[in-house]
């Protein structure tokens, strides 16, 4: 038993955290006189459209919407995971996402380009701008040894206000939204909408798949990725070994910010056809922290945990319609983060219990 646990620790630990998170959610629902069954029903319905009352077993529209919500969260998960591998904590994915989304909106409205090229240009710009925004924190860390956590927190709020300012001042904007995009810029697809029974599922998924492959390839298969990991393990050691530690820090933040910027662009161009002017964070970036940690910082892990957190998001309105406060989903996801943070303690506990089992 203990051997099995030690071998698959990377998979078992996150699963335990998810289980405990759902348990906390269920207990809180029970304590407040609501049925946890309804919460799980809503999660199931969010996944597949399953609805026992109406004898619907599969409705691809729900599945499509579930993917729509998962895509940006997977991307921010990749963003935080990538920086974490270099020993950097990127709390700034939220702001990088907004900057990426903003630049995509600007290009979608102001720059006339032929279709196909238009969204690609917008995506590349989102990667670069999100990356540069994050690279500010990387540069300050490398040059002045200023802690990236504080800088990225501050950059989040600066991004929020910068984004609002820019979008409000685009031609045709009102207080809540910008003008419609030029039709060439969209990532929406009639074909994908049709096969998912009318959901907003869009070409953004190709970007997500490419990003997952890029993440895996860079981290696992290149010397660049290896030197990033070495920097993360032991900065002084890496410097002693002749690695360009400072450059690695800036580059790692740039790529991390690029992933988050793409998340913003996918949402902006795929889910909507106008830019939204929002006054507070939507927490896609913060969910990314949970996704990266639950996914054990590897590409496939982040894919699956991103899907899990996407599900917790898309199921929220479904919970509300069953008279369960939708915020229970937020409680579940933040509890999962706490349990992931407690991993060391949980590990000691499990090892103790399993050892006792061996003795008796």
The distance of closest approach from Cβ of residue 11 to another protein in the complex, given in angstroms and rounded to an integer, is: 20
Q: Which residues pair with 56 in a beta bridge?
A: 51
Our measurement of the distance from residue 308's CA atom to the centroid of its chain's CA atoms, rounded to an integer in Å, reads 11
Q: Residues 53, 223, 280, 360: which binds another protein (CB under 8 A)?
A: 280
The rounded distance, in Å, linking the Cα atoms of 345 and 132 is 38
Number of residues that bind another protein (CB under 8 A): 46
Please report whether residue 158 would count as binding another protein according to CB under 8 A: yes
The distance of closest approach from Cβ of residue 258 to another protein in the complex, given in angstroms and rounded to an integer, is: 21
Smaller CB separation from another protein, 64 or 287: 287
Instruction: Report the greatest alpha carbon distance in the chain.
Output: 75
Residue in 212, 251, 252, 263 with CA at minimum distance from that of residue 103:
263
Smaller CB separation from another protein, 36 or 325: 325
Non-local CB neighbours of 353 within 8 Å, separated by 6+ positions: none
Smaller CB separation from another protein, 52 or 176: 176
Please report whether residue 32 would count as binding another protein according to CB under 8 A: yes
Smaller CB separation from another protein, 160 or 219: 160
Among 96-104, 118-126, 289-297, 351-359, the segment contacting another protein (CB under 8 A): 289-297
User: What single DSSP character describes residue 270?
Assistant: I
Smaller CB separation from another protein, 118 or 141: 141
The rounded distance, in Å, linking the Cα atoms of 285 and 333 is 13
Following DSSP, what letter does each residue of 187-215 receive, concatenated?
A: ---HHHHHHTTS----THHHHHHHHHHHH
The rounded distance, in Å, linking the Cα atoms of 15 and 294 is 8
Among 45-53, 137-145, 208-216, 253-261, the segment contacting another protein (CB under 8 A): 137-145
Among 66-74, 146-154, 192-200, 270-278, the segment contacting another protein (CB under 8 A): 146-154
Among 69-77, 171-179, 198-206, 279-287, the segment contacting another protein (CB under 8 A): 279-287
Under 8 Å between Cβ of 274 and 101: no
Please report whether residue 329 would count as binding another protein according to CB under 8 A: yes
The rounded distance, in Å, linking the Cα atoms of 17 and 24 is 10
Please report whether residue 321 would count as binding another protein according to CB under 8 A: no
Smaller CB separation from another protein, 143 or 221: 143
Would you state the structure tokens that stand for residue 59, as one six-digit string? 């409705």
Residue in 154, 190, 161 with CA at minimum distance from that of residue 98:
161
Please report whether residue 161 would count as binding another protein according to CB under 8 A: yes
User: What single DSSP character describes residue 54?
Assistant: G
Which residues are near another protein by CB under 8 A? 28, 32, 89, 91, 140, 144-147, 149-151, 153-155, 157-158, 160-162, 164-165, 279-280, 283, 286, 289-290, 293, 325, 327-331, 333-335, 337-338, 340-345
């Amino acid at each position: 038993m203990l051997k099995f646990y030690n071998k698959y620790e990377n998979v078992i630990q996150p699963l335990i955290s998810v289980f405990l998170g759902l348990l906390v959610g269920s207990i809180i629902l029970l304590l407040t006189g609501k049925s946890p069954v309804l919460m799980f029903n809503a999660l199931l319905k969010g996944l597949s459209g399953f609805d026992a009352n109406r004898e619907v077993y599969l409705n691809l529209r729900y599945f499509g919407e579930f993917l729509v919500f998962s895509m940006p969260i997977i991307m921010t998960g990749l963003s935080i995971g990538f920086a974490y591998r270099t020993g950097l904590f990127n709390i700034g994915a939220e702001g990088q996402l907004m900057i990426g989304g903003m630049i995509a909106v600007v290009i979608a409205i102001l720059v006339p380009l032929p279709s196909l090229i238009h969204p690609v240009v917008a995506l590349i710009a989102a990667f670069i701008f999100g990356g540069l925004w994050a690279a500010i924190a990387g540069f300050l860390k490398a040059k002045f040894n200023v802690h990236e956590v504080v800088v990225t927190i501050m950059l989040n709020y600066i991004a929020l206000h910068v984004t609002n300012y820019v979008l409000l001042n685009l031609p045709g904007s009102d207080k809540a939204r910008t003008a419609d995009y030029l039709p060439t810029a969209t990532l929406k697809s009639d074909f994908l909408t049709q096969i998912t029974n009318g959901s907003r599922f869009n070409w953004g998924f190709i970007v997500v798949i490419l990003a997952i492959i890029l993440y895996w390839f860079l981290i696992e298969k290149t010397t660049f990725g290896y030197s990033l990991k070495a920097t993360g393990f032991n900065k002084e050691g890496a410097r002693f070994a002749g690695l360009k530690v400072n450059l690695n820090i800036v580059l790692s933040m740039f790529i991390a910010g690029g992933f988050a910027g793409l998340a913003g662009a996918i949402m902006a161009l795929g889910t909507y056809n106008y830019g939204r002017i929002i006054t507070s964070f939507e927490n896609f970036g913060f969910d990314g922290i949970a996704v990266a940690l639950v996914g054990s910082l590897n590409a496939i892990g982040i894919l699956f945990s991103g899907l899990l957190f996407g599900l917790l998001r898309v199921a929220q309105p479904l919970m509300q319609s069953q008279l369960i406060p939708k915020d229970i989903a937020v409680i579940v996801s933040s509890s999962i983060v706490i349990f992931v943070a407690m991993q060391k303690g949980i590990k000691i506990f499990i090892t103790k219990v399993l050892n006792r089992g061996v003795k008796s």
